[in-house]
């Protein structure tokens, strides 16, 4: 949605790629607590450079970034899901009271590989 709005602005193509990747990255970084799974996005080399993230091959143009949860995150979210019903109205509201460190609701582990 934000990417569609930004199409109305004159932004250099290289900067647009980075901006689009950053929007995709931010949409992906939060864990779906009802369905914990690894998530994968394809982003450009320029975006990794912009974020100062190391990547395996500097000649490739695109990379696959796989986000995964840590064991601590998995345990904490599993514990939350055991105590709260996923279809309860307050399910998402309570998560912020129970999981106090909000950082645990974002993927903390990632792996960067070449995109083929």
pLDDT average, residue stretch 98-114? 89
What is the extent of the structural domain holding 102? 2-114
**In the structure encoding, which two tokens stand for residue 28, read together?**
């992906």
Residue 57: per-residue pLDDT: 77
Residue 60 CA to residue 58 CA, distance in Å, equals 6
Q: How many structural domains is the chain composed of?
A: 1
Higher pLDDT, 100 or 111: 111
10-34 confidence digits (pLDDT tens): 778 788 889 889 989 888 989 999 8
Residue 67: per-residue pLDDT: 95
pLDDT over 80 (residue 109): yes
Cβ atoms 28, 41 nearer than 8 A:
yes
């Amino acid at each position: 949605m934000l990417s569609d709005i930004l199409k109305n602005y004159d932004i250099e193509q290289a900067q647009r790629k980075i901006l689009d990747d950053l929007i995709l990255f931010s949409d992906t970084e939060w864990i779906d607590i009802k369905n914990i799974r690894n998530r994968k996005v394809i982003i450009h080399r320029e975006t990794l450079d912009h974020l100062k993230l190391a990547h395996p091959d500097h000649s490739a143009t695109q990379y696959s970034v796989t986000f995964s949860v840590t064991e601590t995150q998995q345990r904490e979210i599993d514990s939350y899901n055991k105590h709260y019903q996923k279809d309860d109205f307050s399910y998402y509201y309570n998560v912020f009271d129970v999981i106090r460190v909000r950082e645990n609701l974002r993927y903390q582990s990632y792996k960067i590989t070449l995109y083929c």
